[in-house]
């Protein structure tokens, strides 16, 4: 091997090592939620002109997609997922992450297509069934959402959000008692599940258990005071008990449309984990 070839090999090895160093540093910063710095580092890594093994390149595109989704740069995240899928179309991870990005921008039909493919490639992913259930819930396909939650719960019987979503879906189908059972379990598994407290509070109001309804809705407000519907429903419960001053305070707050309410709840249900 002549000197020139040796130098080229050494130069390429150094660039590969630099790629790996940047990738690992970006991964560490991503875990620490320093998203912009992580994005800058992974951009630098991907700009290095050298041979990168396909598996490592796949991981880099997926990481950048994940970072950008956390930063709410959904279109860029979707683009990177597509690059990752080109490299490994047999991996469910690119479809799963792309479906989640579509879910966040309310392109629910596209999300379902990606989750369908992710589930086909990995039928043991409880989170993909849950996310597909969310997409179905958003399209008011409540029976389909329940079916997806059933599979998610079968695969992971301790995931609070699946019970919360199934209970919310049953609530929308007027299956009050079944919904209440699921929401009780959701809260048992996660005492910070504001959506479960909200739906349980609304259910109890409709079942005329007003004081318990107020307690649940107050808990939902304490967890997430940004959702006007939590206050509105509590106001209705206060009104039913004749506590008119408290009712006026809650009912007098700015209202939101049913669609805006649904979006707020979806924001919680699709919180990036």
pLDDT tens digits for range 143-200: 999 999 999 999 999 999 999 999 999 999 999 999 999 999 999 999 999 999 999 9
| Cα(58)–Cα(91) distance, integer angstroms | 10
| Cα(160)–Cα(166) distance, integer angstroms | 10
Rounded to 5°, angle at Cα 228 from 226 and 233:
130
Ranges under pLDDT 70 in the chain: 1-13, 255-273
- Sign (positive/negative) of CA torsion 142, 146, 151, 156? positive
Chain centroid offset of residue 106 CA? 12
Orientation angle between helical segments 126-138 and 258-269, nearest 10 degrees? 170
Does residue 158 contact residue 188 with C-beta atoms inside 8 Å? no
Q: Would you state the pLDDT for residue 48?
A: 86
Q: How many CB atoms lie within 10 A of CB 71?
A: 14
Does residue 152 contact residue 129 with C-beta atoms inside 8 Å? yes
Tokens for 5? 């070839």
Q: Would you state the pLDDT for residue 197?
A: 96
Q: Would you state the pLDDT for residue 52?
A: 83
pTM of the model: 0.86
Tokens for 204? 């109890």
Q: Would you state the pLDDT for residue 53?
A: 85
Closest CA to 81 of 69, 72, 124: 69
Q: Would you state the pLDDT for residue 259?
A: 53
Q: Would you state the pLDDT for residue 10?
A: 41
Does residue 201 contact residue 233 with C-beta atoms inside 8 Å? yes
Q: Would you state the pLDDT for residue 261?
A: 56
| Cα(68)–Cα(77) distance, integer angstroms | 5
| Cα(183)–Cα(195) distance, integer angstroms | 9
Closest CA to 46 of 9, 84, 10, 8: 84
Does residue 178 contact residue 143 with C-beta atoms inside 8 Å? no
Q: Would you state the pLDDT for residue 255?
A: 65
Does residue 69 contact residue 49 with C-beta atoms inside 8 Å? no
């Amino acid at each position: 091997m002549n000197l020139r070839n040796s130098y080229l090999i050494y130069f390429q090895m150094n660039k590969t090592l630099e790629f790996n160093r940047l990738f690992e540093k970006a991964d560490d910063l991503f875990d620490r939620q320093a998203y912009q710095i992580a994005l800058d580092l992974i951009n630098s890594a991907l700009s290095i002109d050298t041979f990168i093994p396909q598996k490592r390149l796949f991981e880099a595109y997926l990481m950048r997609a994940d970072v950008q989704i956390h930063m709410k740069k959904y279109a860029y995240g979707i683009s990177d997922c597509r690059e990752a899928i080109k490299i490994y179309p047999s991996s469910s991870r690119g479809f799963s992450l792309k479906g989640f990005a579509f879910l966040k921008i309310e392109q629910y039909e596209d999300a379902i297509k990606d989750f369908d493919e992710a589930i086909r490639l990995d039928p043991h992913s409880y989170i993909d069934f849950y996310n597909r259930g969310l997409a179905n819930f958003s399209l008011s396909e409540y029976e389909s959402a329940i079916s997806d939650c059933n599979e998610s719960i079968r695969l992971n019987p301790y995931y609070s959000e699946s019970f919360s979503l199934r209970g919310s879906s049953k609530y929308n189908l007027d299956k009050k008692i079944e919904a209440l059972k699921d929401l009780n379990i959701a809260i048992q598994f996660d005492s910070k599940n504001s959506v479960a407290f909200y739906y349980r509070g609304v259910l109890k109001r409709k079942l005329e258990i007003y004081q318990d309804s107020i307690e649940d809705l107050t808990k939902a407000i304490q967890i997430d005071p940004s959702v006007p519907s939590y206050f509105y429903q509590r106001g209705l419960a206060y009104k039913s008990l004749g506590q008119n001053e408290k009712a006026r305070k809650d009912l007098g707050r700015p209202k939101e449309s049913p669609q805006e309410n649904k979006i707020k709840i979806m924001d919680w249900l699709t919180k990036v984990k």
